[in-house]
Amino acid sequence: MHTIILDTDIGTDVDDALALAVLLGSQEVDLVGITTVYGDVRLRSQIAMNLCSMVNKEIPTYMGEDKTISGREVWMSGSEGKNFESLDSFTPQATSAVDFLIEAVIAQPQAIDVIAIGPLTNLARAIQSSRDFEKKVKRVWIMGGDFTQSKVEHNFKCDIDAARIVLESNVPITILDLPSSQKTIIGMQEIEQIRNAPVIGTLLYSEIMSWIKPRNQDWTIPHDPIAALSLLAPEFFEASSPGKAKVDPDGLSFWSESPNGNVVLVKPAHPESAVKRLIELITS
């Protein structure tokens, strides 16, 4: 059983919702909390709570940092929550996301994995605020970066200072970067399978279509659910040796092998099988 906190900017790109659906669909996950980050964190929390409630799960959800450490302006699409109803009926926890992260990890040392699929502001603040968090979190699983330096990846770019704080900490980290996540794809066949999922299929389908139609696509890349799957189903992934990672002032990410390193990179070894497995979890 994996004890997990999901740290997310759910509501913009559909892949955050798909990642949450993967965790909710797994019998091997104890999802002890959801923390939201970046921009309208109340709305993001309400979206997450709505999805959980649809499958009769009440997962404590906490509002996190709405502004970036770097001072970079927050970007939101404006379409967040448009496919949801009665979001105002959901009230997130009063405790802040950063306080919850620290308290939960200290209460269960070396037991909690944090899956971070948005900008890393909440995690950076937790590291800055508590040496115990840094020492006692089991591992942080990140979707972010581009270690080929071909581009500046969105999650790191949104808060470069936060990414630097997290990567240069002593926290054990596993990263699925952008080129690695792009090895997987969900096409219309898989999208139709998601549409037919019990209870949340129709809503997830609407979220997918709202994301891909304006981009004239009939496919989407499941960046975040693949990152979650790297924890749940490591047999579908290749992992690097330990190394050290850093982010430069422009947001480019670098990794080098080091026996004392805290950062492992993963990539799908069997992309089609990984996608098949995540579809099974979403539609279970």
Given this model, what pLDDT does residue 127 score? 98
**How many folded domains does the chain comprise?**
1
Q: Is the pTM of this model over 0.85?
A: yes
The total number of residues written for the chain in this structure: 284
Question: How far is Cα of residue 17 from the mean position of the Cα atoms in its chain?
Answer: 9
Given this model, what pLDDT does residue 141 score? 98
Given this model, what pLDDT does residue 116 score? 98
Given this model, what pLDDT does residue 84 score? 86
Give the span between the Cα atoms of 82 and 267, in whole angstroms: 33
* Cβ atoms of residues 9 and 269 within 8 Å: no
Tokens of 61: 């959800």
C-beta atoms surrounding 242 within 10 Å: 16
Among the listed residues 193, 220, 212, 211, the one whose alpha carbon sits nearest the alpha carbon of residue 282: 193
Do the bridges between strand 237-239 and strand 263-268 make them parallel or antiparallel, or are there none, so unpaired? Answer: antiparallel
Given this model, what pLDDT does residue 83 score? 87
Given this model, what pLDDT does residue 200 score? 92
Give the span between the Cα atoms of 118 and 199, in whole angstroms: 26
Q: What is the dihedral of CA 173, 174, 180, 186, to 10 degrees?
A: -120
- Phi and psi at 230, nearest 5°, equal -65, -25
Residues 134-191 have pLDDT tens digits of 999 999 999 999 999 999 999 999 999 999 999 999 999 999 999 999 999 999 999 9
Residue numbers in the chain where pLDDT is lower than 70 = none
Query: Which residues form the domain of 86?
Result: 2-283
DSSP of the chain: -EEEEEEE-TTSSTHHHHHHHHHHH-TTEEEEEEEE-SS-HHHHHHHHHHHHHHTT----EEE---S-SS-PPP---S-TTTT-S-GGG---BSS-HHHHHHHHHHHSTTTEEEEE-S-SHHHHHHHHH-HHHHHH--EEEEE---TT-SS--HHHHHTHHHHHHHHTSSS-EEEE-HHHHTT--B-HHHHHHHHTSTTTHHHHHHHHHHHHGGGT-S-B--HHHHHHHHHH-GGGEEEPPPEEEEE-TTS-EEEEE-TT--EEEEEESSHHHHHHHHHHHHH-
Given this model, what pLDDT does residue 9 score? 97
CATH number at residue 111: 3.90.245.10
Given this model, what pLDDT does residue 45 score? 98
Given this model, what pLDDT does residue 81 score? 83
Given this model, what pLDDT does residue 157 score? 96
* Cβ atoms of residues 55 and 10 within 8 Å: no
